């Protein structure tokens, strides 16, 4: 069972893999991307993954057989384990808990070579729907405080398998980055009775200088204080705190907007490696928090995607300070991306 | 002039390079490490760097000529600029300031091929002394809130030149990571009237399971909630908040301890790329903070080095949550490093 440990200095949770811990010789080099070899995510290899928890497009045939459009399976090497009750322990000045959680993989397509940005928009919408269905389902588990949906595209971005896939991790704690966003949004709301994200989106759309595109009520822009070159923020223009409450029309709009942004990135930056992650409201059903903690959440949080192309290396300065040197002003990044001819 | 911009969601400062912003074509690939080519840090090429601000070992000869042991020069491509007054501006909901700061390079040796860990201990001590001298000097500049000393060793760790060097960046804001440490330490002190770091060090030394070595009053251990495999924390056992106040004996002890840790890392992990960074007290002379803000600082902060070997890639999960999956328990990492025969 992995462990969750808390750092009292940085107030950060870390997952420590206590079984099969990697030894010095395991780090001889960073793993190369699989190429040409066997792929457990390809059609026909369904028995090489744990049994699917969700499938689209395979009607009337046996589970875990070919003929599917999208599959969701538990991760074969999960960072957190689904079985058991949460057990919180103090260790002197430190805190730890057993590594309860869920770790799933969305196999976006049976085809090994079609990247997310190249999917037809109808298929892209199905992927967004799968995100939503899994998010809703995992939020039913009251042990989980947060569900993170994220994608690592390309080996530089941390992908260990090149077959197009997204990962979902449900955690029994609210991650620090999300906790910080929730706190900032709450503080803003307490003073102004307006959503911080709505205020930012309004200002970005009025100025327009960092906007990349606007599609059916979704907007994509380069953040004012972007950490990385060509970092992108995508959110609904209309206030909405919870991705799992989006309508089908909104999912379609998101699919079109995200697909357009990925297409622009691909052309501008020659198919770059990237990460994206969804930040949505934490699990308000979870009873482990004090009752009124989430009282204003529907007013003060605003779900969004963050996309980070992996173009520069992070070094000691970034790790040492938590602040970043961005060599491309977001106004320039937005203009380059806006001016791409699709 | 670069800009410092503040992210109101993550409460993070970012340096935006507004001149010579990098275009999409500049990211065609990550820069390869220089090898065999011209090196501006080598002896004989002193005129290829800005004029030195500090030199050791060249007595009675002209500045910026050969014959030195250690040189400190301004960075030729500084992230922040030394000239000008700080100008803080609101931009609607956002905040920015002009990019005032200092960015220096400590050229650790005239020899291109001798890495820090392989320096003789006497030379190592001189490098520590140079860190201290520059720290003290930059803290005289009341525009600077913080001085970060950090090293990127190896191209994977972000080094763009392979000649052994350390970087120093002085910033007009307290970086978020340091602000978080200061806050945690203060909250701990407010309740317990003890230093958080002293408490952690005492617990680590009593248990011993994560300790790597102890040298003349300095201790190196793997943190309880280490983010990365083989992450290391080095600090004085006796309480001390400010690196610039260390005695010569303590600098010598640090040199021996840090050298031993780097030697162990080199053998255990086959000369890995790494970052290290010094976290010391912020600039208490700076008058921009409210007067009593630093009142308890000498009691509640504790300077330390953090060393991060760069063995794993960070991916969407880490960027999306601010928490980490560490595949090597720190107890195992410490044992591997402790058992290396030197």
- pLDDT, tens digit, 9 for 90 and up, residues A147-156: 999 999 988 8
According to the model, what pLDDT value does residue A290 have? 55
* Cβ–Cβ < 8 Å for B66, B43: yes
Rounded mean pLDDT, B248-252 = 95
Tell me how crowded residue B109 is: count the other CB atoms within 10 A of its CB: 24
Known catalytic membership, residue A165: yes
> A157-161, B262-266, B300-304: which range is least confident on average?
A157-161
Stretch B235-245: mean pLDDT: 96
pLDDT confidence of residue A289: 55
User: In a 3-state reduction of DSSP, which class is residue B323?
Assistant: coil
d(CA A2, CA A99): 5
- Count Cα neighbours of A225 within 13 Å in the Cβ-side half-sphere: 21
pLDDT at residue B30 greater than cutoff 70: no
Query: Chain B window 199-258: which residues touch A at a Cβ cutoff of 8 Å?
Result: 199-200, 203, 207, 223-227, 229-230
| Distances from the Cα of B36 to the Cα of A142, B33, B45, B88, B166, angstroms | 59, 10, 15, 44, 21
> Which of A195, A209, A236 minimizes the C-alpha distance to B8?
A195
> With 60 as the cut, is the pLDDT of residue B31 above it?
no
Which residues from B are below 8 Å from A197, CB to CB?
9
**Rounded Cα distance, B11 and B27, in Å:** 28
Query: How is domain A3-20+32-339 classified at the architecture level of CATH?
Result: 2-Layer Sandwich (3.30)
State how far the Cα of B234 lies from the Cα of B314, in Å rounded to an integer. Answer: 23
Q: For position B83, what pLDDT does the model report?
A: 92
Interaxial angle between packed helices B196-207 and B176-192, expressed in degrees from 0 to 180 and rounded to the nearest 10: 80
DSSP string computed for B28-84: SSPPPPP-SS--TTSTT-GGGSSPPSEEES--SS-TTSS--SEEEEE-SS-SSBSSS
Q: Which of A103, A123, A165, A241 is catalytic?
A: A165
B195 marked among binding-site residues: no
Find the mean pLDDT for residues A189-200: 96
d(CA A172, CA B280): 33
Are the beta carbons of B92 and A203 separated by less than 8 Å? Answer: yes
Nearest CA to CA, how far is B151 from chain A (Å)?
Answer: 6
Q: Is the pLDDT of residue A106 over 80?
A: yes
What confidence score (pLDDT) does residue B320 get? 65
What's the pLDDT at A308? 92
Q: A244: Cβ–Cβ under 8 A, 6 or more apart, which residues?
A: A132, A135, A136, A139, A280
Which of A10, A224, A323 is opposite residue B181, by nearest beta carbon? A10
Q: Distance (Å) from the C-alpha of residue A60 to the closest C-alpha of chain B? A: 35
**Among partner residues B94, B150, B196, which is closest to A320 by beta-carbon distance?**
B150
Longest Cα separation, chain A = 60
Alpha-carbon distance B116 to B131, whole Å?
14
Tokens of A193: 């009775």
Residue A320 has a pLDDT of 65
- Residue A270 reports pLDDT greater than 80: yes
Burial class (CB in 10 A: 0-12, 13-18, 19+), A264: buried
Q: Pick from A307, A306, A304: which is nearest to A274 by CA?
A: A307
CA pair distance B177, B181, nearest whole angstrom: 6
Token pair 């970052």 is found at B275
Q: Quick one: pLDDT at residue A155? A: 83
Dist. CA B241–CA B235, nearest whole Å: 10
Min Cα–Cα distance to chain A from B205, Å: 13
Name the residue in chain A with its Cα closest to that of B79.
Answer: A325
B188 appears as a binding residue in the annotation: no
For A114, A190, A233, B133, the CA distances from A297, given in Å and listed in that order, are 38, 11, 20, 50
pLDDT in tens, A238-251: 999 999 999 999 99
**Would an 8 Å CB–CB cutoff place A310 in contact with chain B?**
no
Q: Check residue A214 and give its pLDDT.
A: 97
**Measured distance CA(A87)–CA(B228) in Å, rounded:** 24
Lowest mean pLDDT among A59-63, B4-8, B23-27, B137-141: B23-27
For testing contact with chain A, the best of B5, B12, B16 (most A CBs within 10 A): B16
Percent of chain A with pLDDT over 90: 74
Match 């880490």 to its residue by tokens: B318
Contact B320 A177 (CB under 8 A): yes
Selection from A185, A37, A5, A8 nearest residue B180 by Cα:
A8
Task: Quote ipTM for the complex.
Answer: 0.90
Is residue B121 helix, strand or coil?
A: helix
Q: In sequence order, what are the residues at sequence separation of 6 or more whose Cβ sits closer than 8 angstroms to the Cβ of residue A283?
A: A139, A142, A144, A145, A146, A147
Q: Does A12 touch chain B (CB under 8 A)?
A: yes
Nearest to A27 among B6, B185, B269 (CB): B269
SS3 A11: coil
Q: Which CATH architecture has domain B3-338?
A: 2-Layer Sandwich (3.30)
What are the start-end ranges of the E strands in chain B? 3-7, 12-16, 54-56, 70-74, 88-91, 94-98, 102-107, 146-153, 165-171, 211-215, 218-221, 232-236, 274-279, 304-309, 324-326
* Pairwise CA distance, residues A6 & A16, whole Å: 10
Whether pLDDT at A266 is above 60: yes
Q: Using 50, 70 and 90 to split pLDDT, how confident is the model at B18?
A: confident
Residue B311 or residue A107, greater confidence: A107
Query: What's the rounded Cα separation, in Å, for the pair B336 and B84?
Result: 50
10 Å CB burial of residue B175 (0-12, 13-18, 19+) is buried
Q: Which of A21-35, B87-101, B310-324 has the lowest mean pLDDT?
A: A21-35
When comparing pLDDT for A29 and B323, which is higher? B323
Q: Is 70 exceeded by the pLDDT of residue A220?
A: yes
Residue B33 has pLDDT above 90, yes or no: no
Residue A201 CA to residue A238 CA, distance in Å, equals: 9
CB A217 within 8 A of CB A238: yes
DSSP class of residue A82? S
At residue A322, the pLDDT reads: 77
The structure tokens listed for B188 are 């701990």
Burial of A339 (0-12, 13-18, 19+ CB in 10 A): exposed
Burial class (CB in 10 A: 0-12, 13-18, 19+), B2: buried
Average pLDDT across chain B, whole number:
91
Residue B69 has pLDDT above 70, yes or no: yes
CA atoms within 13 A on the CB side of A47: 2
Instruction: Name A87's bridge partners.
Output: none
From B67's Cα to the closest Cα of chain A, the distance in A is: 30
Per-residue pLDDT, B107: 97
Q: Note the pLDDT tens digit of each residue in B273-306.
A: 999 999 999 998 876 555 566 778 888 999 999 9
User: Touching check for A268 and chain B: CB below 8 Å?
Assistant: yes
The pairing of strands A12-16 and B324-326 is parallel
What average pLDDT does this structure show over A208-215?
97
Q: Is the pTM of this model over 0.90?
A: yes
Cα A59 to Cα A240: distance, rounded to the nearest angstrom: 34
- Least Cα distance to A222 among A100, A309, A129 occurs for A309
Chain B environment of A15 (Cβ under 8 Å): 323-326
pLDDT at A86 over 60: yes
Q: What is the pLDDT of residues B139-185, one digit of tens each?
A: 999 999 999 999 999 888 888 889 999 999 999 988 888 888 999 99
Confidence band for B108, pLDDT divided at 50, 70 and 90: very high
The 8-class DSSP code of residue B217 comes to: T
Interchain contact A97–B (C-beta under 8 A): no
pLDDT of residue B28: 62
Cα–Cα distance, A59 to A57 (Å, whole number):
6
pLDDT mean over A46-64: 94
Q: What is the pLDDT of residue A178?
A: 87
Helices A176-192 and A196-207, packing angle to 10 deg: 80
Is the CB of B157 less than 8 angstroms away from the CB of A323? no
pLDDT for position A292 = 60
Give per-residue pLDDT as tens, A20-35: 678 888 776 555 544 5
Beta strands A3-7; A12-16: pairing state: antiparallel
């Amino acid at each position: 069972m992995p462990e969750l440990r808390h750092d009292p200095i940085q107030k950060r949770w870390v997952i420590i893999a206590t079984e099969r811990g990697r030894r010095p010789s395991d780090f001889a080099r960073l793993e190369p991307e699989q190429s040409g070899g066997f792929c457990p995510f390809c059609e026909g290899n369904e028995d090489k993954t744990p049994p699917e928890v969700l499938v689209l497009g395979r009607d009337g045939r046996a589970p875990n057989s070919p003929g599917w459009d999208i599959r969701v399976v538990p991760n074969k090497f999960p960072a957190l384990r689904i079985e058991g009750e949460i057990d919180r322990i103090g260790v002197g000045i430190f805190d730890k808990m057993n590594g309860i959680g869920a770790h799933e993989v969305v196999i976006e397509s049976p085809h090994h070579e079609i990247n997310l940005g190249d999917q037809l928009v109808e298929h892209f919408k199905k992927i967004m729907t799968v995100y939503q269905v899994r998010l809703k389902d995992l939020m039913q588990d009251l042990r989980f405080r947060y569900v993170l949906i994220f994608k690592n595209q390309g080996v530089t971005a941390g992908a260990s398998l090149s077959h197009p896939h997204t990962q979902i991790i449900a955690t029994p704690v609210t991650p620090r980055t999300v906790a910080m966003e929730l706190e900032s949004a709450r503080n803003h709301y307490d003073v102004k009775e307006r959503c911080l994200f709505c205020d930012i989106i309004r200002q970005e759309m009025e100025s327009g200088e960092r906007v990349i595109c606007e599609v059916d009520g979704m907007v994509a822009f380069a953040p004012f204080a972007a950490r990385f070159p060509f970092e992108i923020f995508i959110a609904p223009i209309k206030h909405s705190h919870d991705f799992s409450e989006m309508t089908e029309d909104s999912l379609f709009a998101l699919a079109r907007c995200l697909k357009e942004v990925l297409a622009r990135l691909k052309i501008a930056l020659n198919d770059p490696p990237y990460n994206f992650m969804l930040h949505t409201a934490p699990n308000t059903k979870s009873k482990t928090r004090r009752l009124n903690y989430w009282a204003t959440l529907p007013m003060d949080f605003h779900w969004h995607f963050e996309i980070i192309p992996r173009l520069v290396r992070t070094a000691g300065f970034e790790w040492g300070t938590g602040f970043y040197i961005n060599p491309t002003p977001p106004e320039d990044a937005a203009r380059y991306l806006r001016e791409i001819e699709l």
